[in-house]
Amino acid sequence: MAKSVSTVRTDHASRYLQQLCKHWSHKFEVEFNETAGKVPFSPETSLELAADATNLILTLNVEKSEDLERMQNVVADHLKRFAFREELDFVWIADASAA
């Protein structure tokens, strides 16, 4: 199991969390509210989202570490489409405790 976290600074964290979750709810059994969400892409791969006033925290869990970078790009690309009015900065940090 591989895990990484990105804290994205934005004043629109809750809006983006909800947009991402609504977008993916057409394909996956998504759970979300204004401050938290979970997207189960598969039994082995999921995205957890948390929003506060200034940050959107993305936690990505994948079974195979070789899938981590691809899924990070998928999540970032989707979020960038919703946040086209602002420049978001993604820095993914691997969580060594997930290994």
> Is residue 97 over pLDDT 90?
no
Residue 98 confidence class, pLDDT cut points 50, 70, 90: low
Residue span of the structural domain in which 76 resides: 2-98
User: What's this model's pTM, rounded to 2 decimal places?
Assistant: 0.91
What is the spatial distance between Cα 38 and Cα 27, in angstroms, rounded to a whole number? 13
> Is residue 76 over pLDDT 90?
yes
| Residue 95, pLDDT score | 80
CB 24 within 8 A of CB 18: no
Q: DSSP characters for the chain?
A: -EEEEEEEE-TTHHHHHHHHHHHHTTTS--EE-SSEEEEESSSS-EEEEEE-SSEEEEEEEESSGGGHHHHHHHHHHHHHHHTTTS------EE-GGG-
Question: What CATH number is associated with residue 70?
Answer: 3.30.310.50
Give me the number of domains the chain comprises: 1
